[in-house]
């Protein structure tokens, strides 16, 4: 049964708001002055941002350019993570309840999805330090437009499947077997960034996101949409 936009009830008419078939990020609707990443942002980062604002107000110190990311580092979470890193060769992925991770060792190389390689630093790698893979809440690195694609690329470089002596079909089967153990890659890699992803635009209009959307088809005006680049990162 499809929801009806207008429903008559004895008291009058109930009207459902229009359902868009895409979700926009805030900066695709209004200008955003500054981004403070994190879900939630870490207290020491909030404090650092407040100090910048206070210095601007009281001493006339220059504020970062509008659109800057404030309260984050400038490298990947992996750089802050103190877990031991070795060469990664992943032959299968585990969901958190399927494995007890070896203490002190990189989670990703144990097959636990960790968005550390694709996520900007600033949280002191909180989650990996307690054995939970980073979910990517601080968002992408400054030069990365699509956080999920960046993570997919990181994963692709460490999947241990196939051998040089194998036929191409066998290698593809091997890779597929490893990837089949990765549950919900889209939901995992784009948990915080779907509205900004290139994938999202491709999903909407079959393009890479830089073509105007057919409003008659989507019912939503996003013509001229360009992913908004995040300008500067201020730690």
List residues near ligand SF4 by CB under 6 A.
77-78, 81, 83, 85, 106-108, 114, 116-117, 119, 123, 125-128, 134-138
Q: How far is the CB of 188 from ligand SF4 (least distance, A)?
A: 12
**Measured from the CB atom, is 117 or 209 closer to ligand SF4?**
117
**Measured from the CB atom, is 86 or 97 closer to ligand SF4?**
86
Q: How far is the CB of 155 from ligand SF4 (least distance, A)?
A: 10
Q: How far is the CB of 46 from ligand SF4 (least distance, A)?
A: 13
Q: How far is the CB of 131 from ligand SF4 (least distance, A)?
A: 9
Give the CB-nearest residue to ligand SF4. 116
**Measured from the CB atom, is 109 or 197 closer to ligand SF4?**
109
**Measured from the CB atom, is 155 or 222 closer to ligand SF4?**
155
**Token pair 């890193």 in the structure block, residue:** 85
Helix, strand and coil in the chain, % to nearest 5: 35, 10, 55
Report H helices in the chain.
Answer: 43-59, 77-80, 126-129, 147-156, 168-179, 185-189, 198-205, 215-218
DSSP-derived secondary structure for 22-81: S---GGGTS--SEE--SSSPPHHHHHHHHHHHHHHHHH-PPPPPTTEEES--SSBHHHH-
Q: Which residues pair with 6 in a beta bridge?
A: 15
């Amino acid at each position: 049964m499809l929801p009806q936009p207008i429903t008559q009830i004895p008291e009058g008419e109930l009207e459902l708001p229009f359902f868009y078939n895409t979700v926009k990020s805030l900066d695709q609707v209004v200008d955003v002055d500054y981004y403070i990443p994190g879900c939630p942002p870490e207290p020491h980062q909030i404090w650092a941002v407040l100090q910048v604002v206070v210095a601007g107000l009281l001493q006339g110190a220059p504020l970062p350019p509008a659109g800057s990311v404030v309260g984050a580092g400038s490298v990947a979470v992996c750089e802050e993570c103190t877990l031991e890193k070795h060469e990664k060769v992943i032959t299968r992925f585990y969901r958190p309840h399927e494995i007890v991770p070896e203490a002190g060792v990189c989670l990703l190389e144990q097959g636990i999805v960790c968005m550390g390689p694709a996520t900007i630093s600033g949280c002191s790698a909180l989650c990996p330090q307690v054995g939970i893979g980073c979910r990517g809440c601080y968002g992408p690195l400054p030069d990365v437009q699509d956080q999920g694609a960046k993570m997919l690329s990181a994963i692709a470089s460490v999947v241990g499947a196939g051998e040089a002596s194998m036929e191409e079909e066998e290698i593809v089967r091997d890779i597929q077997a490893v990837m089949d153990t990765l549950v919900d890659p889209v939901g995992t890699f784009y948990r915080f960034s779907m509205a900004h992803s290139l994938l999202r635009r491709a999903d909407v209009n079959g393009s890479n996101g830089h073509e105007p959307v057919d409003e008659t088809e989507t019912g939503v005006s996003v013509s001229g949409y360009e992913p908004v680049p995040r300008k500067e990162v201020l730690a």
